[in-house]
Amino acid sequence: MTMNARNIQYLASAITVLAAVAAQSAQAQSGTAATSVQPVFSVGPKFQQTTGEAIYRSLCQGCHMPQGEGAKGAGTYPSLARNNKLEAGGYAVYLVVNGQRGMPPFGEMMSDGQVAEVVNYVRTHFGNNFTDAVTAADVKQVRR
């Protein structure tokens, strides 16, 4: 792909976000909220973020919120923080790929590697400490 305006723009956004991520790490260390991290925009029908953190910030936190705390309205977005259901990595992979109830499936919009990245991110953040990382191969198995 040639370097075009959108790509440059995307890179610029990505750099901004990287800076924000760095700032957030500093903030996190000082114990303040991490809401300054803003998503980047993808070009086309698939998500383009590659790291677990970037995917979480650009997608998951829309419902599960910046600290993985979830939300309560007429219904509930489950908290991902200190969530024992995440112990089984395959469960989280299944949900991201296929969705559940109102949660849409993201399998078509993400590569195996991206799904693994974001699942590993969630399973090692927000008070979760499941260090048995899932792999792209694990994700491939979950896809039909």
Q: What are the structure tokens assigned to 42, written together?
A: 């993808």
- Beta carbon nearer to other proteins, 58 or 130: 58
The CA-CA-CA angle for residues 27, 81, 114, to 5°, reads: 85
Tokens 């992979």 correspond to what residue?
93
Instruction: Give yes or no for residue 85 binding other proteins (CB under 8 A).
Output: no
Q: Which of 14, 34, 109, 136 binds other proteins (CB under 8 A)?
A: 109
Q: How far is the CB of 95 from other proteins (least distance, A)?
A: 12
Instruction: Give yes or no for residue 61 binding other proteins (CB under 8 A).
Output: yes
- Beta carbon nearer to other proteins, 27 or 42: 42
- Beta carbon nearer to other proteins, 73 or 131: 73
Q: Which of 5, 30, 31, 144 binds other proteins (CB under 8 A)?
A: 5
Q: What are the structure tokens assigned to 131, written together?
A: 């260090």
Give Cα separations from 73 to 44, 63, 76, 83, 95 (angstroms): 31, 11, 6, 20, 21
- Beta carbon nearer to other proteins, 60 or 119: 60
Instruction: Give yes or no for residue 90 binding other proteins (CB under 8 A).
Output: no
Site residues for other proteins per CB under 8 A = 4-6, 9, 35, 38-42, 44-48, 57-63, 65-66, 71-77, 99, 101-105, 109
